[in-house]
Amino acid sequence: MFNSGSMSRNKKMKDVASYIALSVLSFIWMIPIMWVVMTSFREESGSYTSYFFPKGYTIDNYVKLLTDNTQFHFTRWFTNTLFVAVCSCVISTFFVLAVSYVMSRMRFRMRKSLMNIAMILGMFPGFMSMIAIYYILKGIGITQSLAALIMVYSGGAGLGFFIAKGFFDTLPRALDEAAYLDGATRMQTFFKITVPLSKPIIVYTVLTSFLSPWMDFIFASVIMGDNYDNYTVALGLFKMLEREFINDYYTQFAAGCVLISIPIAALFISMQKYYVEGVSGGAVKG
């Protein structure tokens, strides 16, 4: 009886210590976010202040960012980024799900070899190929265009099929076989049987496919060059930090950071349940 009570107290103490540690870590993690939000409402201009909390607050930074297009076209950049992210997301999601389904359900020659090659290629960062990609796009004459960005972001999406394949492996093959017996084709089976049962992994794929073009800076900077009208948000906000602009536009830069984080935060909050299920259910199998 004594040992049981002692173990119970020890467990409670450990739980309390864990909650305290997590609370402290959460607060530390929130400090940069709080600072960016407060800076976006800061009334004083300039990129550096010796104090943490602003001396005055205003919404003019947001108003100027969205309405003043004399120097920076934030609304256009935001629209460009949203267009590229949505188009890339749709194409990439289809590629990933299609390749994952094929690798999970079909058995063909060189299947294992292709999976190994895809895994090896996935070990290398994408920006290693950016020079080659730039000259390929230049050769076909579509550099500095939004179409080029969409092609770059979605072209190699099929290589990231491992997590979705692992999820499809958990779905019973008997469902597919029953559909085939009823006369369904593979495509009908995929869209009418597999896709409705794969909501978690679809949500996971959509989120990851949307995030890459939304936050990317490297490929966008190489492909766009000096085409100011086709800049994405990442390029535009970075331009605000140049030496001749940073003192006057730093608070607007912070306001832009807050605005571009809202769609991502909303997506994750609304789809968090399915995102976690997609990650936990996507164990890679042979």
Q: pLDDT by residue (tens digit) across 129-143?
A: 888 888 888 888 888
Q: pLDDT by residue (tens digit) across 19-28?
A: 899 899 989 9
CA distance 218 to 133: 12
* The residue count for the chain: 286
What is the separation of C-alpha 23 from the centre of its chain, rounded to a whole number of angstroms?
26
- Smallest CA-to-CA distance from 249 within 76, 77, 53, 47 is with 47
Q: pLDDT by residue (tens digit) across 172-228?
A: 888 888 888 888 888 888 888 888 888 888 888 888 888 888 888 888 888 888 888
**Cross-strand bridge partners of residue 42:** 57
Q: pLDDT by residue (tens digit) across 43-102?
A: 888 777 787 888 888 899 999 888 888 888 889 999 999 999 999 999 999 999 888 888
117, 181 contact by CB (below 8 A): no
Kindly report the average pLDDT of the chain as a whole number. 84
Mean pLDDT across 94-118:
86
What is the separation of C-alpha 249 from the centre of its chain, rounded to a whole number of angstroms?
27
Query: Which SS3 state, helix, strand or coil, does residue 15 take?
Result: helix
Residue 157 vs residue 77, higher pLDDT: 77
Position 283 scores a pLDDT of 45
CA distance 67 to 59: 12
Position 113 scores a pLDDT of 87
Q: Is the pLDDT of residue 275 over 70?
A: no
CA distance 81 to 233: 6
pTM, rounded to two decimals:
0.81
**Residue 100 C-beta-side C-alpha neighbours within 13 Å:** 30
Confidence of residue 7 (pLDDT cuts 50, 70, 90): low
Listed in order, strand segments (DSSP E) in the chain are: none
192, 252 contact by CB (below 8 A): no
CA distance 161 to 122: 10
